[in-house]
């Protein structure tokens, strides 16, 4: 474990990759976090389930981390746990159930833990520097808040991590208010209901055209701390970003740059297209609202994606993939599948059990397997088809290559 001081705040970095390593690291983090001692208090865990891209692409929080965190908190005697997030506006507008697509629901259902979709939650009005919006009551009223962001590049903000994770606490389309002045509002939003613990899932990060269309990078790391700006500063430094390149971080008073062990150097997001930048202009908001139904048409969305105007193209069909099956014993035994399995199944059992207590059908093993020895069961692919075409090869590469 490495420890860094940022002003008066402490940030820790632990290396982990396999389910056992992640479990051990998260257990240490929870026991050292100094959470409020009353075990009956409600604990709300807020991962980053921004959209329906699998965690191994670097986009969403890894089930290895959520699973380890739930178990560490239950073992700590916590009795009232909630996993909550409000996915992005495009997902929300189309009614896509990200909790189901990412199998977070399958994971959470194994425990005495509830899920709350913050987009459907009651909101509490809050004034930000550039507008009024509703923050979900479940997050506001939580007695213990645990934020579990991912570490990825962001086309507008340079990087997305702990402070940016709070955008998911804003109810449904009110998130658009945050985008009126993204840097200023992100810098203010986390402090509305600050976390008691930040645990950054940097097992797989995303570089390049993040947060929705970048490339996965295996970092094998977990950052933890209490202060989102301090955690962000250390996480940014670990991937070669100084605070000046992250507009919401640059708003905080300068502190001595932490000398952090490099996990790698993230390739930044490419420059946004002129049309994408123009679409954010205040005076053109009316036009954006007008063309929104048009951009929702699959053919228009695809054209906008190809022109680098949007990053996300959503598929409404969930598909019928039910899980994974083994196609071959002769697989070479690389262990990539077992290394990413949230429930810690050994290679010999992967794809050979349909017991929901053992296998979450999360498909992580299929994403990671480079030989086809793990195949998808059921069909059609639905939304997975587009994701697999875009990401299967990069996930295979990323999961077997550590930085």
Among 237, 362, 388, 398, binds ligand SF4 (CB under 6 A): 362
Q: Note whether 350 binds ligand SF4 by CB under 6 A.
A: yes
CB of 349 to ligand SF4, least distance (A): 7
Q: Is residue 343 at the binding interface for ligand SF4, with CB under 6 A as the rule?
A: yes
Our CB check for ligand SF4 shows the closer of 86 and 342 to be 342
Distance separating alpha carbons of residues 64 and 391, to the nearest angstrom: 20
- Residue with the CB atom nearest ligand SF4 in the bound state: 331
Cβ proximity to ligand SF4, 111 vs 305, nearer residue: 111
CB 396 → ligand SF4: shortest distance, Å?
9
- Under the criterion CB under 6 A, does residue 365 sit at the interface with ligand SF4? yes
Positions in 313-332 near ligand SF4 (CB under 6 A): 323-324, 331-332
**Closest CB to ligand SF4 among residues 167, 362:** 362
| Interacting span for ligand SF4 (CB under 6 A) from 23-31, 150-158, 269-277, 368-376 | 368-376
**How far is residue 275's CA from residue 272's CA, in Å, rounded to a whole number?**
8
Q: Within positions 47 to 66, which residues make up the interface with ligand SF4, using CB under 6 A?
A: none
Position 18 contacts ligand SF4 (CB under 6 A)? no
- Nearest in space to 234 (alpha carbons), one of 224, 248, 244: 224
Considering only residues 369 through 398, tell me which ones interact with ligand SF4, judged by CB under 6 A: 369, 371, 373-374
Applying CB under 6 A, the span of 129-137, 188-196, 211-219, 338-346 interacting with ligand SF4 comes to: 338-346
Stretch that binds ligand SF4, among 20-28, 34-42, 149-157, 353-361 (CB under 6 A): 353-361
Nearer to ligand SF4, 257 or 377 (CB): 377
Helix 298-306 vs helix 285-295: crossing angle, to nearest 10: 120
Residue 184 CB, shortest distance to ligand SF4, in Å, is: 40
Which residue lies nearer to ligand SF4 by CB, 194 or 372? Answer: 372
Q: How far is the CB of 253 from ligand SF4 (least distance, A)?
A: 44
Question: Which residues lie near ligand SF4 (CB under 6 A)?
Answer: 323-324, 331-337, 341-343, 345, 347, 350, 359-365, 368-369, 371, 373-374
């Amino acid at each position: 474990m490495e420890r860094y001081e940022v002003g008066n705040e402490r940030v820790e970095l632990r290396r982990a990759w396999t389910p056992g390593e992640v479990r051990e690291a998260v257990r240490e983090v929870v026991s050292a976090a100094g959470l409020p001692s009353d075990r009956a208090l409600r604990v709300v865990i807020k991962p980053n389930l921004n959209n329906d891209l699998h965690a191994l692409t670097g986009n969403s929080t890894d089930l290895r981390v959520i699973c380890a965190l739930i178990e560490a908190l239950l073992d700590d005697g916590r009795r009232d746990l909630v996993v909550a997030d409000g996915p992005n506006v495009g997902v929300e507008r189309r009614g896509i159930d990200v909790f189901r697509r990412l199998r977070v629901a399958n994971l959470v259902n194994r425990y005495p833990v509830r899920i709350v979709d913050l987009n459907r939650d009651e909101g509490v009005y809050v004034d930000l520097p550039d507008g009024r919006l509703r923050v979900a009551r479940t997050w506001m009223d939580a007695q213990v808040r645990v934020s579990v962001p991912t570490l990825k590049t962001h086309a507008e903000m340079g990087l997305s991590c702990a402070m940016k994770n709070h955008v998911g606490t804003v109810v449904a389309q009110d998130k658009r208010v945050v985008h009126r002045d993204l840097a200023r509002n992100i810098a203010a939003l986390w402090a509305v209901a600050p976390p008691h613990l930040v645990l950054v899932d940097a097992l797989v990060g995303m570089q390049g055209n993040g947060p929705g269309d970048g490339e996965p990078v295996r970092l094998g790391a977990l950052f933890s701390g209490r202060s989102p700006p301090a955690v962000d500063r250390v996480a940014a430094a670990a991937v070669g970003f100084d605070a000046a390149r992250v507009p919401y971080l640059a708003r905080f008073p300068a502190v001595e740059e932490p000398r952090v062990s490099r996990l790698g150097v993230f390739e930044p997001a490419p420059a946004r297209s002129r049309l994408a930048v123009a679409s954010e202009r205040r005076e053109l908001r009316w036009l954006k609202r007008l063309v929104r139904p048009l951009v929702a048409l699959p053919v228009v969305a695809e054209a906008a994606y190809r022109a680098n105007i949007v990053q996300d193209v959503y598929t409404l069909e969930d598909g019928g993939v039910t899980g994974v099956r083994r196609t071959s014993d002769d697989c070479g035994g690389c262990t990539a599948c077992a290394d990413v399995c949230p429930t810690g199944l050994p290679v010999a059992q992967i794809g050979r059990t349909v017991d929901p207590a053992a296998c979450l059908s999360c498909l992580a093993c299929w994403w990671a397997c480079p030989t086809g020895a793990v195949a998808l069961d059921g069909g059609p692919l639905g939304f997975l088809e587009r994701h697999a075409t875009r990401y299967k090869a990069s996930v295979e590469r990323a999961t077997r290559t550590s930085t």
